[in-house]
Amino acid sequence: MLLAYIDEIGETGAFIARDHERFNTSPAFGYAGFVVPAAHARSFGAEFDRQKRTLFRTELAQAQHPGRWERKGASIFRPDTLQRHPEQIRVFAGLVRRLRSAGGALFYYADEKPVGTPKQTALDTDARETSAMREALNRLARHAETQDANLMVIIDQVNEKTRAARLPAMYEHILGRAADHPEMRRIIELPMHVDSRLSANIQFADWLAACATRAVEYQLLRESPYGWVTTCRELEALRGAFTHESKLHLRHRSVDDFHHSELFRPQRPLHPDGALGANVPHAIARRIMAAAERSHAGGLTTTGC
């Protein structure tokens, strides 16, 4: 039996550019985390908890409920983490090595977003979330098939309204796809939602999703302060650690999608000159931003690029 723990890469909203006033959060959306044999899930969670308590002992000593205290991955993978808190990256890399030694693997799947406002891109956030979840489940099931193992998927808890909306769609997808794709039968139960404050393994999935989010941004955007996640010596532990099914799906690009550890290579095929290259050509991006600003200011109808 395998257990997969996953959390979100980015968020489902619209994106234009990192320096845009409103639509600046993430150029892609998806899921990332890890897969571990069930026999090692408890011991790995205990090791994560031990390392967290050592690394953040000062914060834990001040916490009202130390057993429910967590450090979010977004707070670890900051532009200046390598300079200010290299010990956090060393602990993260050590946990990746520990997971691999237990027969586990890392995982990600994300879709690049179209660039523009919600109106310009006809954004449906529910459809974006559903599509990414379906593809993540498909790829996790294929990994389980290669390991000749059954699988349970565990996701960070969401509010009850969102959970109730997700479950029927996931149920329909898993059962409906199984007729033509027997590997879906490897998923033996609907994905479970667990409060990250109570699950060390979900907390580590959050760290991995944050790390993958930074790598996605580095690969997609013209300017990114997160190139260090692809060049840091400690993070060499990530190379070869991902399932073969891991993927960043690009939107209308002239280069191939990113697979398994390719997301963390320092060379950027979308802009190989390093300083140039962009999520979209610079002139087009600026036109989109200008149109969005006019729409926001005056309620004008905008058009896509």
Read off the pLDDT of residues 161-206 as tens digits, 9 standing for 90 and up: 777 777 888 889 999 999 899 999 999 999 999 999 899 999 999 9
The answer to whether 44 touches 106, Cβ cutoff 8 Å, is: no
Percent of the chain with pLDDT over 70: 89
Q: What is the mean pLDDT of residues 74-99?
A: 97
pLDDT at 285: 45
**Structure confidence by residue, pLDDT tens digits, 41-62:** 999 999 999 999 999 999 998 8
pLDDT at 295: 52
**Structure confidence by residue, pLDDT tens digits, 237-260:** 999 999 999 999 999 998 999 999
Residue 156 has pLDDT above 90, yes or no: no
Q: What is the mean pLDDT of residues 103-108?
A: 98
pLDDT at 73: 95
pLDDT at 273: 72
pLDDT at 305: 31
pLDDT at 165: 75
pLDDT at 211: 98
